Amino acid sequence: MPETVISRIRPGSRLDTPLCRLALDVAALTGRRRYGLAFLLGAAAAAAMSPVDMVPLLAVAFPGLLWLDDGSTSAGATFRLGWVFGFGFFLAGLYWIAAALFVDLARFWWLVPFAAAGLPAGFAIYIAFALLTTRLVVQRLQLSAAARVFVFAIAWSAAEWTRGHAFTGLPWNLVGYTWSGGFPGAIAMLQSVAVVGIYGLSFITVLAFSLLSLLGSPRTAPMHPLRRWAPGITAILLVTAPALGGAVRLASTPIDLTGTRLRLVQPSITESLKWQPAAAQDNFRRLIDLSRAPTTERLNAILWPEAATPFLLGRDRPARDAIAAVVPKGGYVIAGALRTDPPPAPIANFWNSIEAVNAHGDIVAHYDKAHLVPFGEYVPFRKLLPIDKITPGTTYLSPGPGPQTIALPGLPPFAPLVCYEAIFPGSIIDEDDRPAWILNVTNDAWYGRSSGPYQHFAIARTRAVEEDLPLIRVANNGISGVIDPVGRVLAHTGLDAIGYVDSALPTAGSRTPYARVGNWMLLGLLLLGAVPVALRLG
């Protein structure tokens, strides 16, 4: 039998523990087994998020990655390892993006491989650089195994922040979102974002679960039991201490509702029919009928999802009159709609907007989406790229000015967000004109019954906790819901459901530390995490 790394461990030595044996065996893997395991560990990390919500898988994914890297013989091997892990992570977490291309597969079939595999392959580079940076810093400074974990958590968090901002940004699949789903008790840990934000919660999460790798490190397996289990104890404290604080916050924040009542209309119109001229009247009628359904209590506003109406309301008086007929007394229908230059000016621009219509059929307020979707609402570098956007029509949308607060008589002021604007932390509220609630209209019909709509809802839920504001989410075909300022889901619809939800608006909380200083909290955490590195902890 050939000699292995494990066979060289002397029985009874400080290396002779099950976790040390496992770590050494993992580090000794080569070839397909090494990279196959890295891919699976990355996919397991993605499964910690919605809709799978298996948070404990992070206790396998991050230690496994670091143990595998113990066997890397060069910087190139480390980079490849990080890339394969990242590819598994993003392939499992972002596969649903390719579903949007199936709406018009005849035109965009050739883009499916790029969306399904190309995007994950590109994003995997961030994780590859995070792992490579960890290796280079550890080698340069001759750091201990414990200090290495802190470097890795810092590098991972910096990579997440960069991914959330570079090239218009896509802060999806952030590790901190593992606490925004349905894992039991996760909502208590989610309260941390009110202080440190989602990037800060990612740092804490990566650090906590990566510390478990030290339980199998030969360099940190001293004979004294207390020191041997110190990494595990520290990891537990990093999770339980914020969770206990979050539990106290939840217990001390009762469900408090205002007198404002809202109806959330979810028509669930399939994307293939949404912009069909022959279906326009039927689609519009479904919105009207759901809005007209009787209620036992007076409504203040009826809310429609993103791009709900197939008509240009600013130029279509009959459509506005039809909406006015279902507007609650003294209230509004607030609808997602495409907007153009107001008449009599010629049409030169289109915006993806939110428009408020009163009982006279007048548009009394509007908001234009500021953060547009690349290749969906515009094509970056379109003079150089020979492709068209995947959404219907040939007109590219124009961006709006950014966060704003809409104040309407009889309705608490609100911050409007269109679709994936809700995924950008720290960029959704005009803090100089703080609203009382957040309205997020969206259309997840593009993504069918994939994990995308569940993830989108969980991400939006996080914004409510960060800002301590209720968030009302109205989806065409996704998950609509009423979320209170601490992230409790008070009412929601099912995916693909046709119907409506009537609910009172929850009361707003006070401005959180994160709302005051934003992502500077992340910088503070990273500097704090660098202290053990500077002290050569271990």
Task: With beta carbons less than 8 A apart as the criterion, state whether 442 and 476 touch.
Answer: yes
439 contact partners, CB below 8 Å, separation of at least 6: 303, 334, 354, 414, 415, 416, 417, 471, 472, 474
* Burial of residue 380, with CB atoms counted within 10 A of its CB: 0-12 exposed, 13-18 middle, 19 or more buried: exposed
Distance CA 84, CA 42 (A): 8
Torsions phi, psi for 305 (to 5 deg): -80, -175
> Which residues are CB-neighbours of 77 under 8 A, at least 6 positions away?
none
Structure tokens at 421: 């604007």
What letter does residue 118 receive in the DSSP assignment?
Answer: I
Q: Which of 20, 160, 274, 369 is catalytic?
A: 369
Kind of pairing between the strands at 350-357 and 363-368: antiparallel
Tell me if 177 sits within 8 A of 197, measured CB to CB: no
Residue of 377, 419, 466, 467 marked catalytic: 419
- The total number of residues shown for the chain amounts to 538
Write out the two tokens for 166: 């570079």
Question: Which amino acid is present at 128?
Answer: A
Question: Known catalytic residue: 274?
Answer: no
Cβ burial, residue 383 (10 Å; 0-12/13-18/19+): exposed
Token pair 């470097």 in the structure block, residue: 151
Cα-based distances in Å from 178 to 34, 57, 189, 398: 26, 10, 10, 34
Indicate which residue of 160, 306, 355, 467 is catalytic. 306
Task: Write the burial class of residue 3 (CB in 10 Å: 0-12 exposed, 13-18 middle, 19+ buried).
Answer: exposed
Contacts 24+ apart (CB under 8 A), 339-344: 339/312, 339/313, 339/314, 339/366, 339/368, 340/312, 340/314, 340/315, 342/314, 343/314, 343/315
Phi, psi angles (nearest 5°) of residue 335: -125, 140
- DSSP state letter for 446: G
Read out DSSP for 467-507? HT--EEEEESSS--EEE-TTS-EEEEPPTT--EEEEEEEEP
Question: Catalytic: 369?
Answer: yes
* Type of residue numbered 5: V
Cα–Cα distance between 52 and 44 in angstroms, integer?
A: 10
| 419 flagged as catalytic | yes
Among all residues, which ones are annotated catalytic?
Answer: 306, 369, 419
